Amino acid sequence: MVTVTGSAGDDAAAAARSAQAQELIDRAQAEDVLLTMLTAMDLCVLGGPRQVLFDEAPAKAYAGMPRRARKNGPAVVLREMEDRGLLIAQAPTAPLAAPGGEGGAGLAGYAFAPKLGLVMAARSRPTLAISCELRNVPSRYPRLYGLGDEQEPLRAVVLETPAAAPVEDFPNLKKAGPLGWFYRYDLVSRASAADFLARWSLLPSQRHPDAPRLVTLLRHDRGRLLSVQTLSVHSADGKTARLLGAGEYDEAGLTGVMSGLFDPQI
């Protein structure tokens, strides 16, 4: 059972949130579930730079904020997330997310709503993580986080994808630079995650046609997240792909290879 507050008590509200999280996990086995959209600033306040994977540019921008902004900004961000229904104003005994810098004290006054709780559980304590990138091409790329426990290491996958700002105008983010980057989070099944990785790997790059797409599996080892395996995939036509050291695959075959990355035994 995934618990969105980490509480060991019998608090009825915490139990209800855990039940809702379980319902989302069950639903994700049949269809992808949109969890939420977050900005890099949101993630920083929630402790993003201290979690397993985080973009360097917003982490540096957050660390370089003026002292006054670092003192007052997190409270504003937390209130906005409460208004969006992502945070609940109460004091959980043990929030899933690591305290986020100056926002840590303020964060302790909230519990995560189920959808945000799943995101934070996956980002802070994934059973595995998978990163995607185009070799030697700096950019923003998708990441995947395994969600599970000792009894069931992979119950679902949280898919993180870079996103454009919503259609609505966000004047306070126009000058935020990397802190204004948006991220989309979806809860998906293992099969859907493997399908996403295969389709992403088959995308030919118009600007960098010779650069392979890299899919890297990472797992925890003694408290550190270490690279276990990297697949180097190149596709010229978007229909078949050459997997370095393993031959050529169509989409179905490549999906099978990607599914293997989620095997707990790897």
CA distances from 174 to 177, 179, 181 (A): 7, 10, 10
Please, where are the H alpha helices in 32-102? 40-45, 56-63, 67-83
Secondary structure class of 75 (helix, strand, coil): helix
In a domain? residue 1: no
Closest to 85 in 3D by CA, of 41, 108, 117: 117
In a domain? residue 38: yes
Tens digit of pLDDT for each residue in 74-133? 999 999 999 999 999 985 444 444 333 344 457 888 999 999 999 999 998 899 999 999
Tell me the C-alpha distance between 83 and 76, whole Å.
11
Please, where are the H alpha helices in the chain? 12-28, 40-45, 56-63, 67-83, 104-107, 114-124, 190-202, 251-260
For residues 261 and 217, is the Cβ–Cβ distance under 8 A? yes
Q: What is the model's pLDDT at position 220?
A: 78
Quote the domain boundaries for residue 228.
12-260
Tens digit of pLDDT for each residue in 178-211? 999 999 999 999 999 999 999 999 998 889 999 9
In a domain? residue 4: no
In a domain? residue 5: no
Domain count, the chain: 1
The DSSP code for 164 is P
Secondary structure class of 241 (helix, strand, coil): strand
CA distances from 73 to 44, 51, 66, 79 (A): 11, 20, 10, 10
In which band, very low, low, confident or very high, does the pLDDT at 153 lie, cut at 50, 70 and 90? Answer: confident
For residues 122 and 151, is the Cβ–Cβ distance under 8 A? no
Tell me the C-alpha distance between 56 and 49, whole Å.
8
Tens digit of pLDDT for each residue in 165-178? 876 666 666 678 99
In a domain? residue 2: no
In a domain? residue 230: yes
pTM for the predicted model, two decimal places: 0.88
Average pLDDT of the chain to the nearest whole number? 87
In a domain? residue 201: yes
In a domain? residue 3: no
Q: What is the model's pLDDT at position 91?
A: 57
In which band, very low, low, confident or very high, does the pLDDT at 2 lie, cut at 50, 70 and 90? Answer: low
Q: What is the model's pLDDT at position 39?
A: 95
Tell me the C-alpha distance between 242 and 13, whole Å.
50
Strand order in the sheet with 156-163: 33-39, 182-188, 156-163, 143-147, 129-134, 213-221, 224-234, 240-243, 247-250
